[in-house]
Homo-oligomer: A and B are copies of this chain.
Amino acid sequence: MIIILKSGHTQSQLDEVKLIVEKHQCEPILIKGTFKTTVNVLGDDTQIDADLFRQLAGVEEVIRIAAPYRLASRTFKKEDTTINIKGVTYGPGHFVIMGGPCAVESEDQTYRIARAVKKAGANVLRGGAYKPRTSPYAFQGMGEDGLKILRAVSDETGLPVITEALDSKSLEMVYKYGDIIQVGTRNMQNFSLLKEVSKLDKPVMIKRGMSSTIDEWLLAAEYVLAGGNHQVMLCERGIRSFDARYTRNVIDLGAVPVAKALSHLPVVVDPSHGSGRKENVIPMSLASLAVGADSILVDVHDDATKALCDGPQALTPPEFEGLVKKLHRVASALDIKIKG
């Protein structure tokens, strides 16, 4: 951490800075430059709140040098985290294909689609029972009944299931019936939910907030790691930009190699929600594999024209099967394994 002092700061203002640094068992190093005077903080400053300095009258700016997260960083843990769930491995050298309906709509629909994605080559089943919807008038999900269907279908097909929790109550249910807990983009900074997830012993996938920086995304992971749950995956799902005419969001594929350089956690891409249009799902899935993601999460629906949620972005089972074949060819060109 480097603290830049204001021109014309007083000695006592400088002393306030030094005092706070020392209170945190760090050492302040004073550097008088031509234009600015700075205090470099020596020691472990990752957990000092930078605002403690920013609010001082003599301070102009505070710049973090070490990342504000610890457990999520490569500095803390060099080797890649590998997550194993019922025979599926997220981690280096592997690529996991997750597919299924955006929302569970009925037992029959879920069975049909799950069997189709399994046949096409998916490794994990996706499906939502609790849906966060922008409008109060849109379909809000089947709730616990939906989770029971997912559990039964997962058991029958042998595909582990990933499903989203929205709050304390739904988390309890998702933990009971699901295999991987999904925290959605709108909940990335729902710190109450992150703390509850951190107490559980099932893997969690945290979607990046739609306007979250990479540091904030890793700090959300830090909340879960700090509470004791080390099975954390990150998911890039598209960020908000100035142009939403043709794609709902901009998928920031460049964030994948960055997150993998900064952190040891697996990184997933969601090309369906990131685009919002199925024409982009196949090329962006291939690009996700090529850019180094560990997994993708794809919406599949066998009658998208009647889907209750996000139909425009769902692939049909034959389209999904075509995608899986291409993924196998590209993975093979890049020496990456896909199960099944």
Contact = CB atoms under 8 A, between A and B. Distances in A.
A11 interface: no
A170 to B, nearest CB: 8
Interface stretch (A90-98, A106-114, A147-155, A242-250): A242-250
A307 interface: yes
> How many copies, total?
4
A55 B289 contact: no
Nearest to A31: B40
A329 B336 CA distance: 13
A283 B256 contact: yes
Interface residues of A, number: 113
Contacts of A68: 135
B191 A4 contact: no
Contact of A333 (B41, B139, B275, B333): B333
Given A253-B287, A287-B290, A333-B333, A33 B38 contact: no
Interface of A: 2, 4, 7, 16, 29, 31-36, 38, 40-47, 49, 51-52, 54-57, 61, 63, 65-66, 68-69, 75, 132-140, 166-170, 186-187, 189-193, 210-211, 213-216, 219, 222-223, 226-227, 239-247, 250-258, 261-262, 274-275, 279-280, 283-284, 286-292, 304-305, 307, 309-312, 314, 326, 329-330, 332-334
